Amino acid sequence: MSFVTHNCTPFSGQKPGTSGLRKKTRVFMEPGYLECFVQSIFNAIGGGQGKVFVIGGDGRFFNAEAIQTILRMAAANGAARAIVGQNGLLSTPAASNLIRKRGADGGFILSASHNPGGVDADFGLKFNGGNGGPASESLTEAFYQHSQRIAEYITLESDPLDLGQIGVTKLEDMQVEIVDPVTDYAELMREIFDFDQIKALISEGFTLRFDAMHAVTGPYATAILEDELGAPKGSVLNAIPSVDFGKGHPDPNPIWAKPLVDLVMSPDGPDFAAASDGDGDRNMILGKGIYVTPSDSLAVLAANAHLAPGYSAGLAGVARSMPTSAAVDRVASDLGIDCFETPTGWKFFGNLLDAGRITLCGEESAGTGSDHVREKDGLWAVLLWLNILAKRRTSVREIMRDHWQTYGRNYYSRHDYEAVDSRKADQMMTDLTARLPKLPGSAAGNLIVAAADQFSYKDPVDGSVSKNQGVCVIFENGSRGVIRLSGTGTDNATIRVYLEQFTPQGGQMDLDTQTALREVADAMAEISRLPETCGRISPDIMT
């Protein structure tokens, strides 16, 4: 074996987005591309000398090869130890847990989350810090700055390691520990939840289905839900991870997990169903005959978390991303705890969690989590729901009905316009931002604008400021519209429009969501001029 240095061409315009660097797989496979970005990370964190890293990914195409590359580079950069999931698998929350548990200096997580996998699909790399959470805004910026001026990377010339063999081996001077990806994570779940209660519920005939969508949560869900909690074999669907996720989108929403939704809506469907995404951090929650929006799920979990042993002392506070509905705000105010509104992206919860200011947090994009790790956690959300159902012994539908009667209902939907010409999308946002000061008091469709601004966030812990995080429009009737550009797309621009309308207690709780939101949708189209500027009349996806 020998160390070798290769030249790097500095990247141009390869800024990591909402969660790490995400590109087409073939881009990552170009000689030197992954290597130069990984070296930029090592350079930005002050080198790898003597450090411990966790490495794993969601099993998509190029996962194993990328891990071999990162291992060689970690060894060449002087790392002391690498902890790798067997066969290169680690869900994002399990990686976060391992980083924290082992006191590692950070972790490399290979995933493009819910985006499809395959040689012609998507790949991604994110770096998490020693607290187990996504790199902060300033660290992400440092990766980018280093990638702009990087001249070379250093690696080893060596044969690939066998990632299938659990145990400790060596790569030059670096120890490589290959661990079962599930064991530590399952142990953490056992500490937080009342597994006996959930077991009892299931043994009494409560039925569930979990769709792993051919992605990383298959082994986790099989071990925990079937082997440990006693759900019958076959309760976990699509449980074997595959490099192309069965050619599907491992995205747990009613569009990409339609078969599961159809099942739960049918008369003989299960009492409870859920799905997770490619890397296991997202969740979708369903009950017999009902889909629970992620914003509502966060609110229900906040209101009922004390029923699980891990949260029996109550919550320190909660947080949600700005576009997420205000359903959880009502629970927080009822509980008398703080509710923080952060920009989109899990990294903004990190400081609040580290400082003990919040216990639970979530995003409208199917992400929910707590202070147990520093990532959102799909299976954790499923287990918290099961723990609540096991204690309350009522249906998901009843829980939702009861919740809306207590707090009122925030009707909510997100409309996505995909593969929009980036120039036009940028133009639309620039023009809209310029018009914002004139909007208050003006009419849009049937609504009157009360306030309109570009969301800017000052981190309450470190005081850092993040500007231009999306346009937020509040209407006089209390409805709200938000519009922002996605930071995770790989194909031109994705425009996201978030719509919300609050109906207080005693109002109509069973309206069709899109009908309830029509007025605010029309008003947002008029205000943003999206149809004229981008030539799009209706969204590609409504969730």
Interface residues toward ligand G1P, by CB under 6 A: 18-19, 113, 321, 344-346, 363, 365, 367, 486-488, 496
Is 325 marked active-site?
no
H-type helices in 45-81, by residue range? 63-76
At residue 209, φ and ψ (nearest 5 deg) are -135, 140
Query: Quick one: which H or E segment has residue 437?
Result: none
Of 354, 446, 450, whose CA–CA distance to 128 is shortest? 354
* Least distance CB 418 / ligand G1P (angstroms): 10
Q: Which does 496 bind (CB under 5 to 8 A by kind): Zn ion, ligand G1P, none?
A: ligand G1P
- Residue closest to Zn ion when measured from CB atoms: 113
Q: Which does 277 bind (CB under 5 to 8 A by kind): ligand G1P, Zn ion, none?
A: Zn ion
Distances from the Cα of 525 to the Cαs of 269, 415, 474, in angstroms? 38, 11, 14
* Active-site pick, 113, 325, 370, 486: 113
Q: Which is nearer to ligand G1P, 37 or 349 (CB)?
A: 349
Two structure tokens written together for 405: 């009667």
Q: Which is nearer to ligand G1P, 292 or 389 (CB)?
A: 292
* Least distance CB 490 / ligand G1P (angstroms): 10
Cβ contact 341:328 at 8 Å: no
Two structure tokens written together for 432: 């809209």
Q: Which is nearer to Zn ion, 110 or 156 (CB)?
A: 110
Q: Which does 279 bind (CB under 5 to 8 A by kind): Zn ion, ligand G1P, none?
A: Zn ion
Q: Which does 320 bind (CB under 5 to 8 A by kind): Zn ion, ligand G1P, none?
A: none
* Least distance CB 125 / Zn ion (angstroms): 13
Q: Which does 140 bind (CB under 5 to 8 A by kind): ligand G1P, Zn ion, none?
A: none
Q: Which is nearer to Zn ion, 211 or 279 (CB)?
A: 279
Task: Compute the distance between CA of residue 62 and CA of residue 57 in angstroms, rounded to an integer.
Answer: 10
Task: Collect all residues with Cβ–Cβ distance below 8 Å to 197 and sequence separation of at least 6.
Answer: 387, 390, 391
For residue 177, the cross-strand partners are 83, 168
Cβ contact 308:384 at 8 Å: yes
Q: Which does 146 bind (CB under 5 to 8 A by kind): Zn ion, ligand G1P, none?
A: none
Two structure tokens written together for 135: 């790199």
H-type helices in 395-541, by residue range? 396-407, 422-435, 513-516, 518-528, 530-534
Cβ contact 242:269 at 8 Å: no
**Which residues contribute to the site for Zn ion (CB under 5 A)?**
113, 277, 279, 281-282
* Least distance CB 278 / Zn ion (angstroms): 6
The amino acid at residue 466 is S
Q: Which does 19 bind (CB under 5 to 8 A by kind): ligand G1P, Zn ion, none?
A: ligand G1P
Cβ contact 236:424 at 8 Å: no
Cβ contact 286:274 at 8 Å: yes
H-type helices in 25-103, by residue range? 25-29, 33-44, 63-76, 92-101
Q: Which is nearer to ligand G1P, 117 or 269 (CB)?
A: 117
Q: Which is nearer to ligand G1P, 135 or 307 (CB)?
A: 135
> 């519009």: which residue's tokens?
483
> What is the separation of C-alpha 82 from the centre of its chain, rounded to a whole number of angstroms?
25
At residue 247, φ and ψ (nearest 5 deg) are 65, 20
Q: Which is nearer to ligand G1P, 365 or 501 (CB)?
A: 365
Residues annotated as catalytic are 113
